Chains A and B, each alone.
Chain A
Amino acid sequence: RKEVEQDPGPFNVPEGATVAFNCTYSNSASQSFFWYRQDCRKEPKLLMSVYSSGNEDGRFTAQLNRASQYISLLIRDSKLSDSATYLCVVNTGNQFYFGTGTSLTVIP
């Protein structure tokens, strides 16, 4: 069983739409959770850490449900510049496990 599973998409949404991504993880001992964004042929960049109480950064909201072992990312008012692959990342001990990513294309 994979440590982290994500729906690969692709998600194609119009500008201004709201889109949500989900991710599940298998190890209940996992400690930290993150969303990264990766543009084509570039390195992953940290979008936001995910806190137990949920957290928001502008148009982005991240939620963590430890009981069900899933993490979510909500993007409101999508912009063309949000087009990228979004990676769910889970930290267990000193190791990190990445989902395969969810592809988002925002259409004008």
Chain B
Amino acid sequence: NAGVTQTPKFQVLKTGQSMTLQCAQDMNHEYMSWYRQDPGMGLRLIHYSVGAGITDQGEVPNGYNVSRSTTEDFPLRLLSAAPSQTSVYFCASGRPDYLYEQYFGPGTRLTVT
């Protein structure tokens, strides 16, 4: 099992550019989520999904879109990058029937200039 994988590991964008962060899991987990981690803020939930075709907003959804067409994949799209979106992004997956224990991918470090 690869667990949760994320690509790319690092990315630099210019303000206004768009991009998609990829996330995939091979554990057949229904629940998937995206977080951003900023210094002094802790991880904050951006969007989550409880299954294919179902997504919902977390604490900080503005500027991001998600979709979930398969159980395995949960991409995060930045529509028009802003410097405030400079952060480390983590994807996670888990099973709601197992106390929602989540497993994280290695993260993507994004810089927007």
Contact = CB atoms under 8 A, between A and B. Distances in A.
B100 A46 contact: no
Q: How large is the interface on B (under 10, 10 to 19, 20 to 34, 35 or more residues)?
A: 20 to 34
Contact of B101 (A34, A42, A98): A34
B106 A49 contact: no
A42 B37 CA distance: 11
Interface stretch (A62-70, A71-79, A89-97): A89-97
- Looking at B48, B90, B102, B107, which has the most chain A CB atoms within 10 Å of its CB? B102
Contacts of A94: 31, 48, 50, 56, 96
Nearest to A45: B104
Interface in B93-113: 96, 99-107
Contact of A98 (B31, B44, B106, B107): B44
A15 to B, nearest CB: 28
Label chain A's interface by main secondary structure.
strand
A95 B102 contact: no
Contacts, number: 48
B41 interface: yes
A32 B100 contact: yes
Interface in B33-77: 33, 35, 40-45, 48, 50, 56, 58-59
Interface string A81-93: 0000001000100
A43 interface: yes
A94 B100 CA distance: 9
Interface of B: 31, 33, 35, 40-45, 48, 50, 56, 58-59, 90, 96, 99-107
Interface of A: 4, 32, 34, 42-46, 49, 87, 91, 94-101
